[in-house]
Homo-oligomer: A and B are copies of this chain.
Amino acid sequence: MPLRSDWSEDLCPVRRGLDVLGDPWIMLIMREVLHGRRRFDEIRESIGISDAVLSRRLRLLVDEELLRKVEYRADRRTHFEYVATEAGADLLPIMHAVSIWAEKHTRMPEGGAHMAVIHETCGAETTTADACSECGEALRPGDVSWDKPWKATRERLVGAP
């Protein structure tokens, strides 16, 4: 990230983390991938990012090993999909922490609704980031759904393969 100082070699882990995560698009892209939207155009439509920026970010995420680029066939064509690595799937607690904070401290706009994070293993809504507040088990993609009432969807996440 040359516009900004490079923190990838910083002694402090928080700065090293923010070197990758301190970009508004990175989290959104990773979230879409964990929601199963893994193709270039699916991600673009769902988060409203420009082609150029998405292309750069995907390259960065592959370089940083948060995503792997995989070829597959569907509709009699070759497609590419971006699959979360373990490092990518491990962003889940950060996403939860952000969503908990935002639910508490940002103003919900007209038409919004409470987003629940459901731990499907025990069936309860969790109110903590990394371990289920109900059963105490670690929250892993695959066991977690995000319930978005304003979209009337409840999507289960998918983790590293």
Contacts and interface: CB of A to CB of B under 8 A. Distances in A.
Contacts of A151: 11
Contacts of A123: none
B94 A97 contact: yes
Contacts of A48: 5
Contact of A8 (B16, B99, B106, B130): B106
A148 B12 contact: yes
Contacts of A31: 14
Interface residues of A, number: 57
Interface string A10-50: 11111111111111110110010000000000000000100
Contacts of A62: none
B22 A27 contact: yes
Contact of A109 (B11, B24, B115): B11
Nearest to A136: B136
A15 B9 CA distance: 28
Question: Considering residues A14, A93, A113, A133, which has the most beta carbons from chain B within 10 angstroms of its beta carbon?
Answer: A14
Contacts of A115: 12-14
Nearest to A98: B17
Interface of A: 4-5, 7-25, 27-28, 31, 48, 86-87, 90-91, 93-106, 108-109, 111-113, 115, 128-131, 133, 148, 150-151
